[in-house]
A and B are shown apart, each in its own frame.
Chain A
Amino acid sequence: MAEMIVARNLTKQFGPILAVDDISLTVARGEVLGFLGPNGAGKSTTMKMVAGFLRPTAGSASICGFDVQDDPIEAKRRLGYLPEGAPLYADMTPPDFLAFVASTRGFKGADKRRRIEAAIAQTNIEDVLGQPIETLSKGFKRRVGLAQALLHDPEVLILDEPTDGLDPNQKYEVRQLILAMAATKAIVISTHILEEVDAVCSRAIIIAGGRIVADGTPQELAGRSRYLNAVSLTVAADQVARVRAGVETLDSVGGLEAHATSHAVTLIVIPKAGQSILYNLTQLIQAHGWPILGLKADGGHLDDVFRVITTEAAGGSGRHV
């Protein structure tokens, strides 16, 4: 089965607040879907509904073809879920906690021991096995939560902010872990770290105000940025006026931004409607013999797209970008 996670018209109303408004999505095996959105956009609520914890006000969700409301046990057997904030039983040690999770997942004896050991190795928590979970650092707690989600080698993983609270090395490790599993599973991760989307996701969905406002590969989304194909030129401060005047003569230039540092200025040359200006610009630089300190071509900024899309959606316009 290709489509492992299916959400159809998921809607969740909390009293007067419409937290999730008609979200539909599918995730296939081999996909890592990044779920992006500002805080309060409805990311966690959507994940809770897909994981079968919250009952949707309208719509439905299924895991590997099993509806999470009608056939919850079969759906949950195939799902590894890291809830928001990675809640854990604080008074237990990681091995005791994992043993409990393994029992509820039906593992016994040698198989159970092997699964627990594998999950511990995968998430690198060997050093804290003797400590109660409440005494662990945030990063270790998060990894115990991940170990719990991976224990039964599920076909579907839903991870709500899996790298929150980890240091850069641990983030890297967790991303490598996700990438290593990606081929055989359908994975959804929520995050507000945009570099993470570039690093692990094959597809990104941006939600704002409970609605999907963008859906595409990270490159496609970044391509919507007005910085797509922009070129940054760094020049000495006393050269700025000359270079700026020269650049503005080009037809394909749509805009110019200047960012000054202590003794240099970076001019960001933004092309009209995604046209490529790198060639024209380098010709111009050579023709005038400008002393350029640095030059960088831009593939577009995901954070820029994110900001534009989510603030537009909050303002009520541009809902279907």
Chain B
Amino acid sequence: MFNNTLAVTRRELAGYFATPVAYVFIVIFLALSGAFAYFIGNFFERGQADLQAFFLFHPWLYLLLVPAISMRLWAEERKQGTIELLLTLPIQLGEAVLGKFLAAWIFTGIALALTFPHWLTVNYLGRPDNGVILASYIGSFLMSGGYLAIGSCLSALTRSQVVAFVVTVTVCFLFTVSGSSVVIGFLGGWVPPALIATIASFSFITHFNQIVRGVIDLRDLAYFAALIVAWLSATILVVDLKKAD
């Protein structure tokens, strides 16, 4: 059972590294994450040995870069017709969806892991709380899974990678900003507070910032897990519905 998922994951992952796309992505991810942290996040000026400045920009970084990974997941299969090959092999649709998602997630995880020099730097400069840093890394990884699951589903809606990218960025943007002070401030005063709280609770930032601050709440982890499961289930439905178009 798990073998099929693994076979799909391995094929997909090998596909990332067969082209320069993977290396370009990793380099840009590393460069941007560093640039955000040091120039916009004022990493040095803060005078604190932690990685908050680095992690706080991750939602925005993912918003742009994760759709670039997820856009090809299903759109490419549909465009090339390989979806017919894949879905007439003796594997469950769920295994294919999970296998492809895992490949994209592992790939993002590799890019994230390669930011370890930041961690080495703060440990050289001071005495950071490595527990919080570890939690932040786990939170960031979970959040990237959330973005990827959304992207997986939206990629199945179209044969065009460009359309998949644009739609995914848009939907991910909504999931990102719904908890931001701008949106909350805009809604404040005319929308019932309970509704605002619900909208804010759908935001990646709300949950991720909790984790980055070192507040590990099971509910934040469960939020991302539930989000991934929900969007992957939706992917199965969409692929089944649209596979022959």
Q: How far is the CB of B166 from chain A (nearest CB, A)?
A: 24
The answer to whether A87 touches B90, judged by C-beta atoms less than 8 angstroms apart, is no
Q: Which residues of A contact B81 (CB under 8 A)?
A: 83-85, 87
Q: Interface stretch among B14-22, B24-32, B107-115, B218-226? A: B14-22
The answer to whether B15 touches A105, judged by C-beta atoms less than 8 angstroms apart, is no
Q: How far is the CB of B7 from chain A (nearest CB, A)?
A: 4
A51 to B86 Cα, complex, angstroms: 12
- The one of B7, B82, B87 in contact with A88, judged by C-beta atoms closer than 8 angstroms, is B82
Q: Which residues of B contact A148 (CB under 8 A)?
A: 85
The answer to whether B18 touches A87, judged by C-beta atoms less than 8 angstroms apart, is no
Within 8 A of A (CB), among B1-41: 3-4, 6-8, 10-11, 14-15, 18-19
A91 to B19 Cα, complex, angstroms: 8
Q: Is A52 an interface residue (CB 8 A)?
A: yes
Q: Is A177 an interface residue (CB 8 A)?
A: no
A83 to B88 Cα, complex, angstroms: 9
The answer to whether B14 touches A48, judged by C-beta atoms less than 8 angstroms apart, is no
Write out, one digit per residue, whether chain A residues 59-99 have a CB within 8 A of any chain B CB (1) or not (0): 00000000000001110110101011101111110001000
Q: Is B120 an interface residue (CB 8 A)?
A: no
Write out, one digit per residue, whether chain B residues 71-92 have a CB within 8 A of any chain A CB (1) or not (0): 0000000001110110111111
- The one of A91, A92, A101 in contact with B89, judged by C-beta atoms closer than 8 angstroms, is A101
Q: Is B195 an interface residue (CB 8 A)?
A: no
Q: Is B194 an interface residue (CB 8 A)?
A: no
Q: Is B191 an interface residue (CB 8 A)?
A: no
Q: Is A294 an interface residue (CB 8 A)?
A: no
Q: How far is the CB of A183 from chain B (nearest CB, A)?
A: 25
Q: Which residues of B contact A77 (CB under 8 A)?
A: 90
The answer to whether B14 touches A87, judged by C-beta atoms less than 8 angstroms apart, is no
The answer to whether A106 touches B82, judged by C-beta atoms less than 8 angstroms apart, is no
A286 to B85 Cα, complex, angstroms: 62
Query: Known: A73-B92, A76-B90, A91-B15. Contact between A106 and B3, CB under 8 A?
Result: yes
Write out, one digit per residue, whether chain B residues 227-245 have a CB within 8 A of any chain A CB (1) or not (0): 0000000000000000110
Q: Is chain B's interface secondary structure helix, strand, loop, or mixed overall?
A: helix
The answer to whether A104 touches B15, judged by C-beta atoms less than 8 angstroms apart, is no
Q: Which residues of B contact A84 (CB under 8 A)?
A: 81, 84
The answer to whether B90 touches A100, judged by C-beta atoms less than 8 angstroms apart, is no
A83 to B85 Cα, complex, angstroms: 7
The answer to whether A100 touches B7, judged by C-beta atoms less than 8 angstroms apart, is yes
How many residues of B sit at the interface, in one of the four size bands?
A: 20 to 34
Write the chain B residue with the least CB distance to A100: B11
Q: Which residues of A contact B18 (CB under 8 A)?
A: 91-92, 132
The answer to whether A88 touches B3, judged by C-beta atoms less than 8 angstroms apart, is no
Write the chain A residue with the least CB distance to B8: A104
Q: Is A103 an interface residue (CB 8 A)?
A: yes
Q: Is A121 an interface residue (CB 8 A)?
A: no
A157 to B89 Cα, complex, angstroms: 13
Q: Which residues of B contact A54 (CB under 8 A)?
A: 244
Q: How far is the CB of A15 from chain B (nearest CB, A)?
A: 11
Q: Is A172 an interface residue (CB 8 A)?
A: no
Q: Is A53 an interface residue (CB 8 A)?
A: yes
- The one of B8, B19, B88 in contact with A76, judged by C-beta atoms closer than 8 angstroms, is B88
Q: Which residues of A contact B84 (CB under 8 A)?
A: 48, 53, 83-84, 87
Q: Which residues of B contact A53 (CB under 8 A)?
A: 84, 87-88, 243-244
The answer to whether B15 touches A92, judged by C-beta atoms less than 8 angstroms apart, is yes
A127 to B3 Cα, complex, angstroms: 30
Q: How far is the CB of B13 from chain A (nearest CB, A)?
A: 11
A101 to B82 Cα, complex, angstroms: 12
A51 to B81 Cα, complex, angstroms: 15
A228 to B241 Cα, complex, angstroms: 49
Write the chain B residue with the least CB distance to A87: B81
- The one of B4, B6, B11, B87 in contact with A92, judged by C-beta atoms closer than 8 angstroms, is B11
Residues of B within 8 A of A (CB): 3-4, 6-8, 10-11, 14-15, 18-19, 80-82, 84-85, 87-92, 243-244
List, sorted by A's number, 28 A–B pairs whose CB atoms are closer than 8 Å. A48-B244, A51-B88, A54-B244, A76-B88, A76-B89, A83-B81, A83-B85, A83-B88, A87-B80, A87-B81, A87-B82, A87-B85, A88-B82, A88-B85, A89-B82, A90-B80, A91-B15, A91-B19, A92-B15, A92-B18, A96-B14, A100-B10, A100-B11, A103-B4, A103-B7, A104-B90, A105-B89, A106-B90
